[in-house]
Amino acid sequence: MKPAQTSADGRAYSPTDRLIMALDGALKGASPRTRTGVHNPGVDVPDAELSPADRRRSAGMMRVNHTGEVCAQALYSAQAAWSTEPVVRAMLEHAAAEEAAHLAWCAERLDELDSRPSRLDPLWFAGAYAIGSGFAVLGDDWSMGFLDETERQVVEHLEDHLARLPRADRRSAAILRQMQRDEARHAANAVRHGARRLPLPARLAMKAQAAVMKFVAARI
């Protein structure tokens, strides 16, 4: 097993430690009672009365976004666990903290919409951790390239959701806009840390896998 790596807080964590920490973060974020200390942008927006159909539509989208944030916890944990550069690990840990806030915001919004997260979140978490590890062991340049492409696709996905959300659901929209800004910044940070552009087949495979996840998570 790879030796423990020193984190931004000066502690040494093994890959197993980081896996447990990421899983713990995902479980906590799934609870609407979790508070991360990061302001939820949705609470500043009055919650409009939605029709049953619009409520179901918004809930399906926020369930997908919640699942995406569960995956983010797994991805960042895996990439930090195998990174060889302290500055890269610190960047990943900071981004993971922001993703944990996103996860909590999505859980809170699902609760407000009288809905729930995807029942398959443990499966999505495991798959994301394996994929993140696979890219990370290739080296930090490939790991950052994967992060850059992931976040680029997430930004596009959030733009699509913002366009398709019920117009009255301004609270969900406020959450997604802040998430989109954060994800764009994560992609830019990956580029600054030496991201290597992924080959087209890899980018297309990522897009296809994300499409399957979004279709299934919205329904199960």
Q: 59-100 pLDDT, tens per residue? A: 999 999 999 999 998 899 888 888 888 899 899 988 988 999
Among 151, 165, 160, 154, which residue's Cα sits nearest to residue 193?
Answer: 151
- Banded model confidence at residue 8, pLDDT cuts 50, 70, 90: very low
In sequence order, what DSSP letters do the residues of 120-142 get, joined into one string? Answer: THHHHHHHHHHHHHHHHTT-HHH
Q: What class, spelled out in words, does domain 13-35+50-217 have in CATH? A: mainly alpha
Tell me, what's the pLDDT at 108? 93
Among 137, 110, 125, 135, which residue's Cα sits nearest to residue 55?
Answer: 110
CA dist 197 → 19, 54, 98 (Å): 26, 39, 24
- Domain layout of the chain by residue ranges: 13-35+50-217
- Percent of the chain scored above 70 by pLDDT? 83
Q: Give the pLDDT confidence of 161-178 residue by residue, as tens digits.
A: 999 999 999 999 999 999
pLDDT at position 112 over 70: yes
